[in-house]
């Protein structure tokens, strides 16, 4: 079973990478782009057959290692 963990900086936390991406896009002529926020996506292949247990395990991994919960939030999605 696959778990997809999306980690993003919380609202209000400065995102220099997102700002740099936004400026680069504007420089390339994509002036319609507003605020840009950068994050990361982590795909985990889990040896779990129960979707609820897989989600719980992935959330625990995110809290303990994958996300810095002081400044980042995360979302877990489970795919069979």
Q: How many helices (H) and strands (E) does the chain have?
A: 2, 3
DSSP code of residue 10: P
Token pair belonging to 36:
């840009």
Boundaries of domain holding 55: 2-79
- CATH number (domain holding residue 49): 3.30.1280.10
Percent of the chain with pLDDT over 90: 99
Band of residue 15 on the pLDDT scale cut at 50, 70, 90: very high
Give per-residue pLDDT as tens, 43-76. 999 999 999 999 999 999 999 999 999 999 999 9
Domain count within the chain: 1
pLDDT of residue 41: 98
Q: Encode pLDDT of 37-47 as tens digits.
A: 999 999 999 99
């Amino acid at each position: 079973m696959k778990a997809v963990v999306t980690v993003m900086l919380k609202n209000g936390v400065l995102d220099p990478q997102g700002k740099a991406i936004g400026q680069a896009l504007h420089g390339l002529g994509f002036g319609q782009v507003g605020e840009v926020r950068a994050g990361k996506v982590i795909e985990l292949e889990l040896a779990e057959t129960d979707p609820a247990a897989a989600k719980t395990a992935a959330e625990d991994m995110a809290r303990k290692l994958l996300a810095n919960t002081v400044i980042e939030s995360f979302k877990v999605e489970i795919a069979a």
